[in-house]
Chains A and B, each alone.
Chain A
Amino acid sequence: MNELILSVEDLTVSFDGFRAVDELNFYVEKDELHCVIGPNGAGKTTLLDMICGKTKPTKGKIRFKNYDLTHMLEYNITRAGVGRKFQNPSVYEDLTVLENLEISYPRKRGVLGALFFKHGTDIHKEIEGIAGQVYLADHLKTKAGQLSHGQKQWLEIGMLLMQDPELLLLDEPVAGMSSREREQTAELLKRVAKGRSMVVIEHDMGFVREIAHKVTVLHQGKLLAEGSMEKVQSDPRVVEVYLGD
């Protein structure tokens, strides 16, 4: 077995008595593209929320490399090398694409650093490079708020790339995209996955089949099945839960 980059153990969280995630064990290997699927309300987004620090678990442990993420603050988790993309594209609408990417540059995050930050040619090259990867090279000066839904998703992925995380958490990266955009995103993610570990939540099974190394199925906060896409799709419990994919 490959080296583990993320290990989640016995993870539980309840909201007012409702167990959104129930004693879940979840492991991600280094350089693995690991998809998480399951019906609505299965706890997928909540799982990512807890890994990146948005929600605090009631029980359990989350280990990333040699960090214990369980009780860390969000920005420290990000600095440790975890990047999160949200379900609804979360970009800084009033800033341009360039500025969005620039902000995501993973250095100089203190007050003085930010105040005296010089936008040198190195950084600009890097920004242009990443903008190119996410198909936004021509839109550097466009305000993020003016981008289309799909472009905003790409921008957010671009912002993550700028941060250069070792573990990417993507929540429904192709939601609301046209089929052409989905193809482009699949390309993008396969490129991005090289040398990085990814956890991707998706509903589009075709997309999952195309990119996933490993698939985990969640149901009612618990792990239902795990393995390759073929193995999971033929698992009768999964079929039952999905009532036919």
Chain B
Amino acid sequence: MTPEILAMQAFNGLSLFTILVLMALGLAIVFGLMGVINMAHGELMAMGAYTTYATSLLFEKLMPGLMPVYFLVGILLAFAVTFAFGFALERGLIRFLYHRPLDTMLATWGLSLILQQAFRHIFGPKEVGVPTVSWLQGAWSPAFLPDAQFPLSRIFIVMLALLVSFGVYMLLFRTRWGLKIRAVTQNRAMSGAAGINTERVDAFTFALGCGLAGIAGSSFTMLASTGPVTGQQYVVDTFIVVVFGGVESLLGTILSAAIIGQLQSTFEYLMTGSMAKASILLLVIVALYFRPNGLFASKVRR
């Protein structure tokens, strides 16, 4: 185990972690803050990925000269599309099911099936990939470890995830809008009485969670190709991450994603991919048994 391999291995864990973080943050907002279990969250990630893919096609056809920029546009569009979809979803479906979490699970599962098929119809059953933009190709080697290679695209994703996490933190804890969100999720009745338009806040919060999934999907295109069932493959992991971190704690979510992401890439190094996944899930379930409220359970007066 040379220092290079160790470093690269750790970095692999990090880049996996960033996808998990973005997905999990989005889900934590939706599940942790609002108590909504959106089983279609994975499909929103796929939606973001597909949007980026579509953007790449668009640029290739119409503006090949601007290709280096397509990726940034792709990320923004991914956010916009998933945000809008999430907004519509909240208004059109979710808000009727607020006090029925198990029903929400089932209804959104149905939605995820429909979305998967729609992806199949529109983009075909095979996985699609996006071209890496020129300025993200290649790898970076730090001076002190010249033999270690850190792909630029992955560095970019990590930066993006950090930026987005920071942005979410700022939004929630430093802006007026974030204040409204926190107020509504903690005490709906009082917030309404204080003049906050709770319905608009709900829609916005949910849409934000979906938008984050969209960005995650967009980043995901840098790591692997996307197919109609890609979303479904990540949805269980994402839930586990959120639950493990302590549903009501965003910080817990981030830590949980870090731990699980790192564990996963370590395990993958030691055993086959599928057994690694199975082992992680099992470990987390056992951990949850001992701490059912996750790492950062909020102390509630019984």
| Subset of 5 A-B contacts with CB under 8 Å | A15-B301, A16-B299, A16-B301, A54-B302, A55-B302
Which residues does chain B contribute within 8 Å of A55, judged by CB atoms? 302
Interface SS, B side: loop
Interface residues in A1-58 (C-beta closer than 8 Å to B)? 15-16, 54-55
B263-302 CB contact bits vs A (8 Å, 1 = yes)? 0000000000000000000000000000000000001011
A193 CB to closest chain B CB (Å) equals: 30
Which residues does chain B contribute within 8 Å of A16, judged by CB atoms? 299, 301
Which residues does chain A contribute within 8 Å of B301, judged by CB atoms? 15-16
Interface residues in A, total, Cβ within 8 A: 4
A54 CB to closest chain B CB (Å) equals: 7
Binding site for B on A (CB under 8 A): 15-16, 54-55
The total number of A-B Cβ pairs within 8 Å is 5
In the bound complex, CA of A15 to CA of B301 (Å):
6
What is the chain A residue whose CB lies nearest that of B299? A16
B299 CB to closest chain A CB (Å) equals: 6
B302 CB to closest chain A CB (Å) equals: 6
In the bound complex, CA of A33 to CA of B299 (Å):
36
In the bound complex, CA of A16 to CA of B298 (Å):
11
In the bound complex, CA of A55 to CA of B300 (Å):
12
A93 CB to closest chain B CB (Å) equals: 16
In the bound complex, CA of A54 to CA of B302 (Å):
8
What is the chain A residue whose CB lies nearest that of B302? A55
What is the chain A residue whose CB lies nearest that of B301? A15
Which residues does chain B contribute within 8 Å of A15, judged by CB atoms? 301
Which residues does chain A contribute within 8 Å of B299, judged by CB atoms? 16
In the bound complex, CA of A20 to CA of B92 (Å):
45
A16 CB to closest chain B CB (Å) equals: 6
B297 CB to closest chain A CB (Å) equals: 13
Which residues does chain B contribute within 8 Å of A54, judged by CB atoms? 302
A211 CB to closest chain B CB (Å) equals: 30
What is the chain B residue whose CB lies nearest that of A56? B302
B281 CB to closest chain A CB (Å) equals: 31
In the bound complex, CA of A115 to CA of B13 (Å):
52
In the bound complex, CA of A15 to CA of B298 (Å):
13
A187 CB to closest chain B CB (Å) equals: 35
In the bound complex, CA of A54 to CA of B301 (Å):
12
Which residues does chain A contribute within 8 Å of B302, judged by CB atoms? 54-55
What is the chain B residue whose CB lies nearest that of A18? B301
In the bound complex, CA of A204 to CA of B258 (Å):
56
In the bound complex, CA of A55 to CA of B299 (Å):
14
In the bound complex, CA of A15 to CA of B302 (Å):
9
B168 CB to closest chain A CB (Å) equals: 27
A49 CB to closest chain B CB (Å) equals: 8
In the bound complex, CA of A16 to CA of B301 (Å):
8
B111 CB to closest chain A CB (Å) equals: 30
A11 CB to closest chain B CB (Å) equals: 16
B266 CB to closest chain A CB (Å) equals: 37
In the bound complex, CA of A199 to CA of B90 (Å):
49
In the bound complex, CA of A55 to CA of B301 (Å):
10
Closest 4 CB pairs of A and B: A15-B301, A55-B302, A16-B299, A16-B301
B96 CB to closest chain A CB (Å) equals: 23
B108 CB to closest chain A CB (Å) equals: 27
In the bound complex, CA of A132 to CA of B11 (Å):
73
B259 CB to closest chain A CB (Å) equals: 27
A87 CB to closest chain B CB (Å) equals: 15
A48 CB to closest chain B CB (Å) equals: 14
B263 CB to closest chain A CB (Å) equals: 32
In the bound complex, CA of A193 to CA of B198 (Å):
50
In the bound complex, CA of A185 to CA of B299 (Å):
38
